[in-house]
Amino acid sequence: MTEALDTQFPCAQCGADLRFNAGSGHLVCDYCGHENIIDIDHQPIQELDFRKGLEDQLSSEQIEITQVTKCTTCGAEVQFERDIHADNCPFCDSVLVTDTGDHRHFKPKGLLPFAVTQKDAQAALERWLGSRWFAPSGLKRYARSGQEMNGLYTPYWTFDADTASTYTGQRGDVYYVDRYVTVMTDRGPRRQLQRVPQIRWTPVRGRVRRFFDDVLVIASKALPKRVADALEPWDLHAMVPYTESYLAGFRAEGYTIDLRDGFAAARGEMDLQIRRDVRFDIGGDQQRVQHVETEFGDVTFKHVLLPLWIAAYRYRKKTYRFVINGRSGRVFGERPYSAWKIILAVLFGALLMALVMGALYTSGALDTVVIGNGRLVMPDDLYFRVPSY
């Protein structure tokens, strides 16, 4: 077993802690400005055998022991720096106190370093909030206050698999026949000859193959899948081999979705793509897929870390999150609605409509508006027919 991670790096000039700077891609010292260049390992990121991972047969080099704290409110497991003993959960803003329990898990094999700085993340948040018309004023004040956002590496799984699928189904081909049909005209129903589409169904069977590379699955229960999906895409081609230097000054979340459940989620994504492949292989104008059986071979995985900027905001005892993709700056936000702003907007709309109707009436363009027997009676120049269904 390995020892608990220590992601602090002392400055060679003054001894203060270095932190990873997203702007330069180097370790920098906030006190003396000294920069340390991170040595990047250009070797391919290692994939691990899925079956061995499930059966705990991987070497001890692939396992690490860390100290993380589990949030009792949202379930996130966050790794603290060595000298921090209490803080707030970045996902829900609840108070956390570090524990001393050791957590054994797969060591990350790769990560995407932060490319968006905290300043840029804050600016993106302010722009997003500025476009939310019905957000409470306190929410916008929160963004303008310069509230510090949390830089967090969130765990993901990636899976590779070579698949072969056999299927049975039906191929539908459209053809046309001439047939008399009844149509409605201005003079009533009439019989008319038309070309009517028909479908000829033919039983089919076949086989499709596909190699899946880096199917990405979030390994955190603290971040809902809908939020994770909204932050995509990720530039996985820019992933670098894992090194602790990129974690300097940031937090890292431990995975809470294990390897088996992670692959189950990945297989769901693969199955969707396989069914699309089957439909394409069947061809025709329409397809019916009746049965698909897939064999998975050479399944590999890796545990990776992806960068997020997160801020939590409490409004009337409920927590709302703002999450920003630390690579692209893509924003996902949860926010409350201001009831007063909505009411004022509705009243303003009603007032505006009344003013417009009054102006039309005063100008003579609108003499009367009478609603009776389901009809809207208006002057001839404004009259229109409402079709009946």
Banded model confidence at residue 78, pLDDT cuts 50, 70, 90: low
CA angle 123, 125, 126 (to 5 degrees): 65
Question: Per residue in 127-154, pLDDT tens?
Answer: 777 665 556 666 666 556 556 678 999 9
Domain ranges in the chain?
18-164+208-337, 166-205, 350-382
What the block records as the tokens of 284 is 């025709």
- Is 140 or 384 the better-scoring residue by pLDDT? 140
pLDDT of residue 42: 73
Which DSSP string do the residues of 111-145 spell out, in sequence order? E----S-HHHHHHHHHHHHHT-TTS-HHHHHHHHT
Q: Is the pLDDT of residue 261 over 80?
A: yes
- Is 170 or 222 the better-scoring residue by pLDDT? 170
What the block records as the tokens of 101 is 């329990």
Question: From CA 8, how far away is CA 11, in angstroms rounded?
Answer: 10
- What pTM was estimated for this model as a whole? 0.74
